[in-house]
Amino acid sequence: MFKSLAPPEYLATIDREKCIRCKRCIQNCGWGVYSWGGDKVLINTSKCVKCLRCYHYCPEEAIEIVDNPTRFKQNAYWGYNHLRNIKRQAETGGIPLTGMGSDLPYTILFDSLLIDACQVTNPSIDPLREPMELRTYLGKKPSSVEFEKGRDGKLKLKTKMPPQLKLSLPIIFSPMSFGSISLNAQKVLAIAAKECGILMNTGEGGLHEDLFPYRDNIIVQVASGRFGVNPDYLNAGVAVEIKIGQGAKPGIGGHLPGEKIPLEVARARMIPVGTDAISPAPQHDIYSIEDLRQLIYAIKEATNYKPVSVKIAAVHNVAAIASGIVRAGADIVYLDGFRGGTGAAPSIIRDHLGIPIEHAIAAVDDRLRQEGIRNEASIIAAGGIRSSADAAKAIALGADAVAIATAALITMGCTTCGKCYTGNCSWGITTQRPELTARLDPEVYAERLINLIHAWEHELKEILGALGINAIESLRGNRERLRGVGLDTQILDILGVKPAGR
Amino acid sequence: MLEINAGGMYYRDLNQKIRDAVNSGEKDITVRNVNGQYYIGDGLRGKSTITVEGVPGNDLAAFMDGPTLVIKANAQDNISNTMNTGKVVIHGNAGDVLGYGMRGGKLHILGDVGYRVGIHMKGVKKQSPTIVVGGTAGDFFGEYMAGGVLILLGLNNDGRPIVGDYLGTGMHGGVIYVRGEIDKNNCGAEVGILDLDDEDMKVLKESLTEYCKDMGLSLDEIMKKGFKKLIPVSLRPYGNLYAY
Ligand code: SF4
Ligand code: SF4
């Protein structure tokens, strides 16, 4: 066979002195790097993706995965990936795929924003002593409220409130479908969402019956492939999301490779086993805001008016689009920045289309306020939220809540190796191979995800305490409490944030 | 039998009335004076038959799961969007984007249909949708089709082409039967044009017998002309698109 001219990225090495020939590495590697040679473990390092599963399961610390020192000559302009992709394309004529969010060194605005804190004149609050309110309601808010006196003489709310989604804290899990991730990974999300009083999202792949017990913590998604969508499904969760776009691949559809379509996934999606599940780029019943409105209300009619969220990728004209979405009747606008993760996307799209979520939040929040419709819909921000600090900054820029996916997968073992599209994930997350998915015990890993959410919850409370405020509501859109470092005036203007020192 | 007068009624109120009637067990409902109301039968379940007099608005029978809707006039866009089971019979022409993502049930149209009909229909053995179009169809007929059956008869086409461009583009499941000849130039690259075998004839006759009964047409008359079938040449039309 013709040897690829793209040298392996990593070298999987075994210290032969330490190795006790237990063969665990052979069992654990989803990519088939190791095999048994009769007296020792053989290594086909060209398949290694540095997911580190073997390293973690080697009882003797005998394995080391190193970046291949034999690289193309360093060149500040022709990067490693440029050469590698050209060589792969020359060999296959195909589009290189990738998983996870873009790792290119574009400016990360979250890392150029700092949060305020109280000193002397405005006392901070001790979250260990004082109650801190993180509860968040997603949905349309009335522009005014009226009260009336009840028979008992007490004041009662007269205005009929539109339906709201109640969250214990302003963090939810981003949509990830059964198919793109394993059912066990979905269960981890569902268990954690229920335990933490937040929400998970089915993505576009139907709702497996094992998730029915978690329906109060589930948003169901409708996307262009309409996989798994029937009236039961629409009514199964607390809300319905129409997916127009995804930050990692704005403007292009979904493509679940046939390798990830075994019988159960095929059945949930109602397509033949082993075909590629294709979600067309646009929804062919939505070519305009008016069409979107029709689908939003068709769903509302079919669900007795559950809240409807519309998810879009953050793109250049995001503010105007979001305004249209709100006017079309959406209860929630879900913005996904270009750093957002994916199970499979052409790397050329992932790395070069869209805009960062930080700009998008600020632009959308501004626009909706200018138009006097900010109360008509909540904003969820997603696409690269790495920590509670990113979450707090996103909320201060104007989001009502953030959505996380990669961070959640990392608690399940993911090392962001980026090879999710192969269906070989050694951690049992983005694969449907039963021997791999079986390793992800939902109960065990849910515990870890719950820990993460609780830790972020504490951190958010600490941040609020330091800011001297006791409710997340007071941070929402409060850009006065952010400062920019090293940002030019135009970016500061877009973000509506002052430079540090002012 | 229940009659509802839809004259001047807001769609939300009308649909609530229909839903209440179906939920209370009414099996035979006639809705008169319909004039463009949206979402009739949207998400509706049960086994009732609803006859619509007048032209219903967009999104008829979206997500519908069980009932039969009989439309005595023309109908508009987005009919049977993601419909699950049930049946829609239209004694006239219908617009664009019919049966989008349809999962089951039947959509019978006497006359012509517009663009983007039957996009991404899907089906498994037990549950499979069927659309029969009596007249002609526009571009993108059966695009991205993943399952189910599309039948195009081209009756009374007065010499006009039976179907537009991009027929079956991206098709990766299901089957399209077209009465008459198909020009390969009108088809997506992903489909092959074949003659019908016995199994096809069985499927076709079964579907058309029901269609002819609904529309008062003669099956023999229709079957006088030959059919061609379109199926995907690959389960993975885009399998070679990517470098792994
Ligand atoms: S388990 Fe992961 S890190 Fe180890 S050899 Fe396989 S691909 Fe490489
Ligand atoms: S989910 Fe699995 S394949 Fe995807 S980046 Fe994480 S470890 Fe790699």
Domains in chain B with CATH codes = 93-241 (2.160.20.60)
Give the separation between CA A180 and CA B56, rounded to whole angstroms.
39
Q: Is B233 on the interface with A (CB under 8 A)?
A: no
Closest Cα in chain B to A224: B101
Which DSSP category does A235 fall into?
H
User: What is the per-residue pLDDT for A258?
Assistant: 80
Nearest to B184 by CA among B174, B199, B169: B169
Give the separation between CA B6 and CA B30, rounded to whole angstroms.
10
Residues B152-161 have pLDDT tens digits of 999 988 888 8
| B172 has pLDDT over 90 | no
Maximum average pLDDT range among A1-5, A282-286, A382-386: A382-386
Mutate to test the pocket of ligand 2, among A429, A437, A445 (most ligand atoms within 8 A of CB): A429
Name the pairing type of β-strands A345-346 and A95-98: antiparallel
Local confidence band at B188 (pLDDT 50, 70, 90 cut-offs): confident
Write out chain A residues lying below 8 Å of B123, CB-based: 270
Which of A275-284, A419-428, B178-187 is predicted with the least confidence, judged by mean pLDDT?
A275-284
C-beta of A58 in contact with ligand 1 (< 6 A): no
Q: Compare CB distances from B244 to A97, A269, A303 and report the shortest one's residue.
A: A97
User: What is the per-residue pLDDT for B190?
Assistant: 84
Token duo for residue B200: 């096809």
C-beta of A426 in contact with ligand 1 (< 6 A): yes
Burial A202-224 (b: 16+ CB within 10 A, else e): bbbbbbbeebeebeebbbbbbbb
Contact B147 A278 (CB under 8 A): no
- Mean pLDDT to the nearest integer, A37-50: 96
Local confidence band at A267 (pLDDT 50, 70, 90 cut-offs): confident
Give the separation between CA B94 and CA B75, rounded to whole angstroms.
5
| A183 has pLDDT over 70 | yes
- Residue B149 Cα, gap to closest chain A Cα (Å): 14
Nearest to B138 by CA among B108, B103, B100, B98: B98
A99 alpha carbon, closest ligand = 2
Which residue, judged by its Cα, is nearest atom 2 of ligand 2?
A425
Local confidence band at B244 (pLDDT 50, 70, 90 cut-offs): low
| Cβ proximity of A446 and A408 under 8 Å | no
Residue A55, Cβ neighbours under 10 Å: how many?
A: 17
Residues A56-93 have pLDDT tens digits of 999 999 999 999 999 888 899 999 889 989 998 998 89
- Domains, chain A, with CATH or none: 10-94 (3.30.70.20), 136-499 (3.20.20.70)
Nearest to A368 by CA among A317, A295, A319, A334: A319
**What are A181's strand-pairing partners?**
A178
pLDDT mean across residues, chain B = 93
Token duo for residue A466: 């330091």
User: What is the per-residue pLDDT for B138?
Assistant: 96
Cα torsion for B65, A285, A301, B87, to the nearest 10°? Answer: -20
Residues B82-110 have pLDDT tens digits of 999 999 999 999 999 999 999 999 999 99
C-beta of A41 in contact with ligand 1 (< 6 A): no
Token duo for residue B108: 């019978």
Token duo for residue A345: 């996307």
| A1 has pLDDT over 50 | no
Which of A252-266, A406-420, B131-145 is predicted with the least confidence, judged by mean pLDDT?
A252-266
Nearest to A136 by CA among A199, A202, A218, A219: A199
User: What is the per-residue pLDDT for B134?
Assistant: 97
Q: Measured at the alpha carbon of residue B95, what is the angle toward residues B90 and B97, in degrees to the nearest 5?
A: 105
Local confidence band at B175 (pLDDT 50, 70, 90 cut-offs): very high
Largest interatomic CA distance in chain B: 61
User: What is the per-residue pLDDT for A444?
Assistant: 97
Residues A457-472 have pLDDT tens digits of 999 999 999 999 999 9
Q: Is B46 on the interface with A (CB under 8 A)?
A: no
Q: What ipTM does the predicted assembly reach?
A: 0.88
| A495 has pLDDT over 60 | yes
Residues A410-443 have pLDDT tens digits of 999 999 999 999 999 999 999 999 999 999 999 9
User: What is the per-residue pLDDT for B157?
Assistant: 81
How buried is B224 (Cβ within 10 angstroms: 0-12 exposed, 13-18 middle, 19+ buried)?
A: exposed
Which residue, judged by its Cα, is nearest atom 8 of ligand 2?
A417
Which DSSP category does A60 fall into?
T
User: What is the per-residue pLDDT for B234?
Assistant: 74
Q: Measured at the alpha carbon of residue A297, what is the angle toward residues A295 and A300, in degrees to the nearest 5?
A: 115
| B238 has pLDDT over 80 | no
A43 alpha carbon, closest ligand = 1
SS3 state of residue A245? coil
Place of tokens 């990669």: A406
Sign of CA pseudo-dihedral A357, A363, A367, A373: positive
Place of tokens 């921000």: A381
User: What is the per-residue pLDDT for A269?
Assistant: 80
Which residue, judged by its Cα, is nearest atom 7 of ligand 1?
A48
For helices A318-327 and A357-370, give the axis angle rounded to 10 degrees: 50
pLDDT mean across residues, chain A = 94
CA distances from A277 to A95, A224, A302, A356, B120 (A): 17, 11, 26, 28, 10
- Kindly calculate the radius of gyration of chain B based on its CA atoms and give it in whole angstroms: 18
Residue A87, Cβ neighbours under 10 Å: how many?
A: 16
Token duo for residue A310: 């519309």
CA distances from B118 to A249, B138, B179 (A): 26, 11, 17
Q: What distance, in Å, lies between the first and last C-alpha atoms of chain A?
A: 64
A25 alpha carbon, closest ligand = 1
- Residue B166 Cα, gap to closest chain A Cα (Å): 14
Local confidence band at B237 (pLDDT 50, 70, 90 cut-offs): low
| Cβ proximity of A311 and A295 under 8 Å | no
Local confidence band at A284 (pLDDT 50, 70, 90 cut-offs): confident
Give residues with Cβ within 8 angstroms of A208, minimum separation 6: A178, A183, A186, A264, A268
Nearest to A328 by CA among A352, A349, A344, A312: A312
User: What is the per-residue pLDDT for B160?
Assistant: 86
- Mean pLDDT to the nearest integer, A105-130: 93
Token duo for residue B56: 């219903």
Local confidence band at A248 (pLDDT 50, 70, 90 cut-offs): very high
Nearest to A408 by CA among A389, A430, A438, A375: A430
Contact A226 B43 (CB under 8 A): no
Give the separation between CA A402 and CA A391, rounded to whole angstroms.
6
Higher-pLDDT residue of A260 and A147 is A147
Which DSSP category does A73 fall into?
P
User: What is the per-residue pLDDT for A401?
Assistant: 98
Local confidence band at A252 (pLDDT 50, 70, 90 cut-offs): confident
| Cβ proximity of A300 and A308 under 8 Å | yes
Local confidence band at A263 (pLDDT 50, 70, 90 cut-offs): confident
Query: Which amino acid makes up residue B125?
Result: K
User: What is the per-residue pLDDT for B240?
Assistant: 67
